[in-house]
Structure 1
């Protein structure tokens, strides 16, 4: 192998950049930190996505924190998924430590303790700015893929969306969607079949069961108004630093369906909203997906296809996606092949399966004349990682074992009082935390059903009255004829009439005599 001077030149040639950049740390060679061989990542390549991987406790979260801080300093907003609940400390400055000073002396980067502008967001009942989206914004295709329905059922969902569009029935939340499903197979069955074809009750029942499953994972909190405007993720503070948006997800670790639903909705909205910018000098927004395996573990093939499509296309909008997970094999190959920056922390070889995973992982990195990749993957220390990125021309940089810089902010969570103070300063809470329940498909269809039922009842009452009137008239005529006849008979057979009649006859007969 070459000496450290040659190695240093090798690294500096590979990581030289003319434009703006962030520095991750300094390279390690022969167990020695080479302070003048620094790992610089060009800002213009950060929208090419990335991966942060490694075993538990090797420093993945701290690497995420370092990159987020440096992006914020460069005026680039960040969105973090905080599943473990240990990222809120970014809002407070690091208290410092002698080991931090020692590390930064080795990597030849000055250390300054800083806090960063943070906005706390939430999907659940935890405190924070509420994240919501309407069913209509989600759309029939994405909804079908999230629900993992059959092709026939997906067609029915598309028909229901079309019916709602044609009849100006807003689909805002899951209650609206369930009501439309019910209406399509009951009260409105004839109406929909006339214009859109027959809708199977069995299929709508299957769709409804899928919705209930999603609802049980807390999706009813996510679907509704007011919809979150993704432009609010791209805010800059008064000092020109990018806001770090942290989504608190500590209470939905066991609800991967909700996490996937939120992520795909967010990415689809960003893709449809943000303008094309091609290869610009800096990204518009960087999104970190911690515990990325939660997205892929229970995803259907259709859902993974959707994710792969978004990953391939969204970089042209200036958006970088960074997947944080234990092993690169947690990420589908179609996604992994799109990732430009790779930060690989240590892996542990406890079992034959682990050794096989290490071998596969090593094959994902450029061949290096300075490192045995499989060997170094198991010998990296905490806060050390193998790094490869893309240079300004989009070419892979040399593989570098790297001692990473320490976070400038606190490597611990905020206290309850600090979190409360931070939430109290939120500029978005007033905008999004007020629940809105305007008239939508649920109310409009209920009113339509009630109106139809009232008209049916009115028509039935009218027919009943007509029936009663006809019957009454018939009886009246019958009663009138019978009474007259009885009166005549009564008069003709009365004693007075008979006596009078006989008296008249007697007079007539007497006069003739």
Structure 2
């Protein structure tokens, strides 16, 4: 063994030889590197980047790319962060947003591999290194400061950069007059709503979500913000919830959140509560509270037919009585006034689908039907509902003459049913009351004013729909008048937003089938409102009850927590701009969190709605 060359000193010689050969190999490599141009450095375009794009996989989809980053960079990137991808080497620039992730991926091993799972379960201290991975939704290709369609994809291994918050707001089109909330994950980026941009609110808005999701807070901020920018707000309040919003909330959590965000602690200014005459107000202590009466002549006869649920026979009698009432008004020179050109032209232009006949009261129509019944039964009318016919014998005589000249349907029972329906409406004591004023819509549409129509004491759907139908009609008429007057002066009218709470009760699928004329009125307001600065906002906790016809009117969305998968699926078909990750998040949104998609924004935004310091009547 002593003579074996592999023993003793020969081992040292062998080690030295190996070291020498290694140094020579390294020297050769360095010489080859120098001949090839020396040490290579990254192109300047990579400086400041935090991640790189990956190759596409069979599961890749159009409009998205996968980005990876070192583990120490993961905490620098938040959900919804805006990114810029400098495609290298073709020089194209893309802008995208994080749609999923960032996720933690282990280096060199699958995250769900057996080794990883066993190590974690058994409390391993040492774990593999890791990196970050995320999906990026491309918003478009950036050229000359503008973002257009992305007709290509970024090249793999292209550098990715974070876009700062100030530039993020500009790129996403987050511009407007007041902030409804902040981008989740970006405390300095607000989500504003433009009041004076015709292409946004006046293409109508939907605020949807389950009970407790934060819709009331959203509507409080929304109404206050719109009014603060000089618009007028009409809020149809079915529960009387907003009749205390002029006061400061007593909710300690809401106040703490507001203080933490530096928001002013105050109620909502310039609110006015209007209650239908004879109904109990939700907040009788409101400093600006008034009653109003309905004007029967504002209601289209077809709307009245639908609300009263008349069958075909009753509808025929009702319309016949309506025509008799019109003839009586003309013969008495009440309307149109004889030889008054303007009055006569107004009578000629009357559209029975749009509104009721001027000066034709519910009480007068009841009297017309009573005379028809008395004529068929060959009796006499002993009671007169309207003051005009009760006091004016000439008017009584004229009415009887007109009825006798009319070819009436001969079945008294059908006429008596119409009389019963009209009396049922009359007993509500809400029409043509002399002890209450009609809605002063001109005053309601003053800049900065919030009008809360308190409908909380209207348990009957008939009564509630009568009130809503009249408000809609008078609002449309007044805003059209204001628009024409402003246009003549080359100005714009005061913007108006009508908020319909519990819209599913007023415009449900069943309700539209029963009352197509009422829906058509809403649809006309929606279509004409786009030009006349009149926006509609539909609020509901039961979006599944809103028909497709109503959803089709909406272009702006504020979506709070929605757990019903069938509802989410239906909304997906209606709002294609929202990506899959946001749809998945709807079921787990916390109170005050929402997905906001407005017509002027480049993409929908996960938003934390600002807390409201205004008091809601139903708050605990």
Question: How would you bin the TM-score normalised by the shorter chain?
Answer: 0.5 to 0.7
Counterpart of 1:36? 188
CA distance in 1, matches of 2:605, 2:422: 47
1:325 CA displacement: 0.6
- For the pair 1:322 / 2:537, whether they are aligned, the reply is yes
Structure 2 portions without partners, runs of 5+: 1-65, 68-76, 84-96, 98-164, 282-288, 335-357, 376-396
Deviations 1:145-166 (A, max 9, x none): 3334335245325413422422
2:506 to 281, 295, 304: 295
Task: Say if 2:446 and 2:494, in contact at 8 Å, map to a contact too.
Answer: no
CA distance in 1, matches of 2:551, 2:525: 13
Task: Say if 2:249 and 2:613, in contact at 8 Å, map to a contact too.
Answer: yes
Structure 1 pair 282/190, CA: closer, same or farther in 2 (3 Å)? closer
- For the pair 1:341 / 2:556, whether they are aligned, the reply is yes
Counterpart of 2:128? none
Task: Say if 2:249 and 2:614, in contact at 8 Å, map to a contact too.
Answer: yes
Counterpart of 1:308? 523
Structure 1 pair 229/341, CA: closer, same or farther in 2 (3 Å)? same
CA distance in 1, matches of 2:606, 2:423: 48
Structure 1 pair 359/13, CA: closer, same or farther in 2 (3 Å)? same
2:326 to 162, 167, 177: 162
Counterpart of 1:134? 295
Task: Say if 1:95 and 1:410, in contact at 8 Å, map to a contact too.
Answer: yes
- For the pair 1:407 / 2:612, whether they are aligned, the reply is yes
Task: Say if 1:386 and 1:399, in contact at 8 Å, map to a contact too.
Answer: yes
CA distance in 1, matches of 2:323, 2:478: 25
Counterpart of 1:121? 274
2:207 to 52, 58, 62: 52
Task: Say if 1:329 and 1:361, in contact at 8 Å, map to a contact too.
Answer: no
1:336 CA displacement: 1.7
**Counterpart of 2:212 in 1: which secondary structure?**
coil
Counterpart of 1:14? 172
- For the pair 1:228 / 2:439, whether they are aligned, the reply is yes
Task: Say if 1:288 and 1:324, in contact at 8 Å, map to a contact too.
Answer: yes
Counterpart of 2:87? none
Counterpart of 1:268? 473
1:289 CA displacement: 1.2
1:402 CA displacement: 0.8
1:113 CA displacement: 1.4
**Counterpart of 1:372 in 2: which secondary structure?**
helix
1:194 CA displacement: 5.3
Deviations 1:9-51 (A, max 9, x none): 666423343xx522111122xxxx2123321221123222211
Deviations 1:224-245 (A, max 9, x none): 3432221121235xxxxx1222
**Counterpart of 2:245 in 1: which secondary structure?**
helix
Task: Say if 1:144 and 1:157, in contact at 8 Å, map to a contact too.
Answer: no
CA distance in 2, matches of 1:373, 1:213: 49
- For the pair 1:5 / 2:82, whether they are aligned, the reply is yes
Task: Say if 1:69 and 1:408, in contact at 8 Å, map to a contact too.
Answer: no
Deviations 1:421-479 (A, max 9, x none): xxxxxxxxxxxxxxxxxxxxxxxxxxxxxxxxxxxxxxxxxxxxxxxxxxxxxxxxxxx
1:322 CA displacement: 1.1
CA distance in 2, matches of 1:199, 1:192: 15
Counterpart of 1:207? 418
CA distance in 2, matches of 1:243, 1:62: 19
Counterpart of 2:455? 249
Deviations 1:328-377 (A, max 9, x none): 333222222122321111013xxxxx3212221233223345x5243111
Equivalent positions of 1:72-471 (< 5 A) are: 72-94=227-249, 97=252, 100-102=255-257, 110-115=262-267, 116-123=269-276, 124-127=278-281, 128-149=289-310, 150=312, 152-153=316-317, 155-168=319-332, 173-187=361-375, 191-193=401-403, 195-200=405-410, 201-215=412-426, 218=428, 220-225=429-434, 226-236=437-447, 242-252=448-458, 254-274=459-479, 275=481, 276=483, 284-297=495-508, 298-299=511-512, 300-302=514-516, 303-348=518-563, 354-369=564-579, 371-391=580-600, 397-412=602-617
CA distance in 2, matches of 1:367, 1:341: 11
1:65 CA displacement: 0.5
Task: Say if 1:120 and 1:246, in contact at 8 Å, map to a contact too.
Answer: yes
Task: Say if 1:283 and 1:320, in contact at 8 Å, map to a contact too.
Answer: no
Counterpart of 1:441? none
1:96 CA displacement: 7.4
Structure 1 portions without partners, runs of 5+: 237-241, 349-353, 415-513
Task: Say if 1:343 and 1:387, in contact at 8 Å, map to a contact too.
Answer: yes
**Counterpart of 2:523 in 1: which secondary structure?**
helix
Q: What is the root-mean-square deviation in Å for CA atoms of aligned residues?
A: 3.2
Which structure: greater strand fraction?
A: 2
CA distance in 1, matches of 2:258, 2:186: 12
Structure 1 pair 98/135, CA: closer, same or farther in 2 (3 Å)? closer
CA distance in 2, matches of 1:389, 1:344: 11
Structure 1 pair 98/256, CA: closer, same or farther in 2 (3 Å)? closer
1:55 CA displacement: 0.5
**Counterpart of 1:378 in 2: which secondary structure?**
helix
CA distance in 1, matches of 2:322, 2:223: 40
Task: Pick which of 160-169 and 72-81 moved more.
Answer: 160-169
Structure 1 pair 21/154, CA: closer, same or farther in 2 (3 Å)? farther
**Counterpart of 1:113 in 2: which secondary structure?**
coil
Structure 1 pair 12/256, CA: closer, same or farther in 2 (3 Å)? farther
